[in-house]
Chains A and B, each alone.
Chain A
Amino acid sequence: MGPTLMLPEEFKYLATIKTIVLFIFLSMYFIKLRWLLSLRLGKDLSTPKGDRNLGIRRSFMSNFTPWGMESSKSKPFGWFEFAFLHLGVGSAITASFLIPYFPALMVAPITQIFTIFAALGCLAALSRFVKRVVKPEIRVISSWDDYFSSLMVTVWLAVATVALLGNITALVAFMFITTGLLIYVPTSKISHYLYWPFTRYYFGAHFGRRGVIG
């Protein structure tokens, strides 16, 4: 995608809309986090056997070391799917901010890398959506929110890929969908990443203290 993909005035409007939506998005997360942190923290008084801090480090690393978890070791395809999906989402969301705020940065090879990741992410998201629809053991744990979020991310990544290839219509659609997503995400299951650092931390502290991991 070249730097002249959109006119500067259009960037200005986009940046304004994006800023408003981003403020709403962050406010929603702030409220959620404030509520979570207002809850009582369960303390562990047991005498430690292992290294709590090492447990925490290992816990956070477990998502990046697929050989450590049987569920990812036995299904490497699933882990790559997970990795590509998250890389794709990361690339697309970064691009969606760079376009209105720092359009000059949207040049090759950055756009090319983002395009590849978004495309791979789209395929991974599609594969996961199909599994959610087809597999009874995934269907049984899926709510409308799960289907909608999954489908929304798949479509968004597809549109992002086309937009990053330089299609203006797709770019406008991409920015619109991103805006919608920013509003919807804090209310949906996609906000799991907000809680992930907490659960990973608690897991590592708990099992590290007991000498189970670490």
Chain B
Amino acid sequence: MSEIKPEVNKPAPVSPKPEANQVVEQLDKRLTRQLAANLAVCAHCGLCNESCHYYLASGDPEMVPAYKADQIRKVYKRKYDWLGKLVPGWVGAVDVDPEHIDKLVDQAFGSCTMCRRCSVNCAMGIDMGMIMRNTRAILNSMGRTPKGLQATVDVHLSSGNNMGIETAELVDTLEWMEEQLQADTGDPNAKIPINKKGARAIYTLNPREPKFYPLTILAAAKVMYAAGEDWTISTDSWDVTNYALFNGDDAGAKKIADSLAKAAESLGVQEIFMAECGHGYRAFRWESENWLGKTYTNFKVRGFVEVMADYIANGRLNLDPSLNKDPVTYHDPCNQARNGGIYREPRYILQHCVTDFREMTPSGIHNFCCGGGGGALSMTEYASRRIKSGKVKADQIAATGAKIVATSCHNCLDQLKEICRHYGIKAEIKNLCEVVADAIVWKK
């Protein structure tokens, strides 16, 4: 793959030995039974090759998933494998040097979105996502996370959301959307409740929504209004995202998750609705209890897609599919479908909201990553590679002939917009709640 060599967050040059030691020490610290088995088991059969969008789009052998995982496996073998200790070259083990660390950075951050498509296509069931996140965590502890990704986490930790949005700015936007909600529903009492104690559920937001896509907030508000939901938004903690899932900073991830859990507890809600954000959903729903070391007992966590499907199943939404006549396809965000188990719900929702649904091939848990996962959008140094890898998804969309691509993730949404523009596909990209909101029949 020919491209500009990415500039990553390199610390001041130091002697190679301490940095090399850090990689091995950190690997040693993080080595669980699962990680060791996943590193030891690879038979290098190559079955994973064609499951990777980076490899399919570039044909570059260095984009083969097993090759990418091998970069940390080489370090593992040097330290733990019998032959790796005695004759490292024989099993491909290496001593860590600055060049190898650069390679680890490039492979873990710039060549893998941790979508785990290769894992479901691996004969051994190797959890490549786990290997890559651990590699990222090792590099993060050495200050080698690409600047953009690190900044996203730092801003979140310092300001409470990843875009540094002030509370007053958020409240302004919510009030504006509330006025819009009242106008659209014809109900002057329609509300976007803020900090409502005892509400049944907290709804979270992706900072991109108040910043760039306020109409997504409106769409979600319409759905909850139509369903008669008792909900609120907490100004203490409202950001659905947690990019520490991507930079491998467990302590940061824990702090971010804890802030949302505390907001839910302080308002006494029964549920947290995770806005349509693939990684945000996965981070809080599936990973945060492990970071925090406890299982949530005071509240339940659901993705908004699950909530909407539930509303429809319980007859709480009056929908007319003929209000969405254009052909619609659905892009499964990897963190929601393959990594989160939400792939039946979006289809159920679309069956009730559109007249012409066209499935991509493959789809569901076998869906291809759009290329925007793993924090890729925040790492501008890998932008050309990201766009190139998105060709696989662009071809999938084009093959459906859909005019609307619905998805449930803001990273996917932005990447899909970019690749459709880049590859000349005339399709509108929407969050699923916008499609649902468009199908709601309002009582006159």
- B:90-104 near A, CB below 8 Å: 90-92
B287 cross-chain contacts in A, Cβ below 8 A = 46
**How far apart are A54's CB and chain B's nearest CB, in angstroms?**
13
User: In the complex the two chains form, is A204's CB within 8 Å of B125's CB?
Assistant: yes
In the complex the two chains form, is B83's CB within 8 Å of A210's CB? no
Output the least CB separation between A10 and chain B (Å): 33
Contact with A along B302-342 (1 / 0, CB 8 A): 00000000000000000000000000000000000111110
Given A63-B123, A204-B125, A40-B44 contact (CB < 8 Å): no
Task: Given A42-B32, A189-B43, answer yes or no on A141-B70 (Cβ-Cβ < 8 Å).
Answer: yes
Would you call B89 an interface residue if the criterion is a C-beta within 8 Å of the partner chain's C-beta atoms? yes
How close is A198's CB to chain B, nearest CB, in angstroms? 4
- With beta carbons under 8 angstroms apart, the residue of B42, B48, B55, B127 that contacts A71 is B48
Q: Does A12 contact B (CB under 8 A)?
A: no
Q: Is B46 in contact with chain A by the CB < 8 A criterion?
A: yes
Residues of A within 8 A of B122 (CB): 71
- Are A144 and B89 CB-contacts (below 8 A) given A46-B287, A137-B46? yes
Q: B49 in the interface, Cβ–Cβ < 8 Å?
A: yes
Q: Is the CB of A212 within 8 A of B92?
A: no
- Do B124 and A71 touch across chains, with their CB atoms under 8 A apart? no
In whole Å, how far is A78's beta carbon from the nearest beta carbon of chain B? 7
Are B37 and A199 in touch, CB under 8 angstroms? yes
Closest residue of A by beta carbon distance from B63: A137
Instruction: Answer whether A187 and B289 are a contact pair too, CB < 8 Å, given A36-B36, A204-B125.
Output: no
A196: interface (CB < 8 Å):
yes
Knowing A46-B290, A137-B61, A189-B91, say if A198 contacts B341 (CB, 8 Å). no
Q: Is the CB of A212 within 8 A of B37?
A: no
Q: In B40-56, which residues have CB < 8 Å from any A CB?
A: 40-51, 55
A211 to B67, CA, bound (A): 29
Q: Within the assembled complex, what's the spacing in Å between the Cα atoms of A182 and B422?
A: 55
Question: What chain B residues lie within 8 Å of A70 (beta carbons)?
Answer: 51, 120-121, 362, 366
Let me know if A202 and B286 touch, CB within 8 A: no
**Across the interface, do B301 and A192 meet the contact criterion of CB distance under 8 Å?**
no
In Å, the complex CA distance between A78 and B51 comes to 15
1/0 per position for A13-57, CB-CB distance to B under 8 A? 000000000000000000000011101111111110110000000
Verify B340–A40 contact, CB threshold 8 A.
no
**Neighbour of B33 across the interface among A42, A145, A146, A212, CB < 8 A:** A42
How many positions in chain A have a CB within 8 Å of any CB in the partner chain? 57
CB distance from B350 to the nearest CB of A (A): 19
Question: Min CB distance, B140 to chain A, in Å?
Answer: 18
Among A138, A195, A206, point to the contact of B46 (Cβ < 8 A): A138
Question: Is A176 among interface residues, defined by CB-CB distance under 8 A?
Answer: no
CB of B436 within 8 A of chain A?
A: no
Least CB separation from A213: chain B residue: B365
Assess the B37–A195 pair: CB atoms within 8 A: yes
| Contact mask for chain B residues 68-99; partner A; CB cutoff 8 A; 1 contact, 0 none | 00100000000010110000011110000000
Interface flags for B399-414 (1: CB within 8 Å of A; 0: not) read 0000000000000000
> If the complex has contacts A45-B289, A198-B41, are A145 and B123 also in contact, measured as CB distance less than 8 A?
no
Q: Does B269 contact A (CB under 8 A)?
A: no
Quick check: is B230 within 8 A (CB to CB) of the other chain? no
* B119 in the interface (beta carbon within 8 A): yes
Shortest CB–CB separation between residue B296 and chain A, in angstroms?
Answer: 7
8 Å CB contact of B67 from A62, A69, A140, A199: A140
Asked whether A210 lies within 8 Å of B286 as measured between CB atoms, the reply is yes
In Å, the complex CA distance between A203 and B116 comes to 11
CA of A142 to CA of B50 in the docked complex: distance in angstroms?
Answer: 17
Cβ–Cβ < 8 Å partners of A210 in chain B: 286, 339-341
> A69 to chain B: which residues have CB within 8 Å?
120-121, 123
**Residue in A36, A44, A74 whose CB lies within 8 Å of B37:** A36
A44 to B50, CA, bound (A): 30
* Contact of A39 with B36 at beta-carbon distance under 8 Å, contacts A71-B121, A145-B83, A210-B339 already known: yes
A198–B33 contact, CB under 8 A? yes
Contact B296 A47 (CB under 8 A): yes
A142 touches which of B37, B44, B125 (Cβ 8 Å): B44
29 residue pairs bridging A and B, Cβ less than 8 Å apart: A36-B33, A36-B36, A36-B37, A40-B32, A42-B34, A43-B290, A45-B295, A46-B285, A46-B286, A69-B123, A70-B51, A72-B47, A72-B123, A128-B45, A137-B55, A143-B44, A143-B90, A143-B92, A189-B44, A196-B41, A198-B41, A199-B41, A199-B127, A202-B34, A202-B37, A202-B38, A202-B125, A202-B127, A212-B338
**Given contacts A63-B123, A189-B91, could you give 12 more A-B pairs where the C-beta distance is less than 8 Å?**
A36-B37, A39-B31, A45-B294, A47-B296, A71-B123, A128-B45, A188-B91, A196-B124, A199-B37, A199-B41, A207-B120, A213-B120
**Which residues of A are interface residues toward B (Cβ below 8 A)?**
35-37, 39-47, 49-50, 59, 62-63, 69-72, 74, 78, 82, 128, 131, 135-146, 187-190, 192, 195-196, 198-200, 202-204, 206-207, 210-213
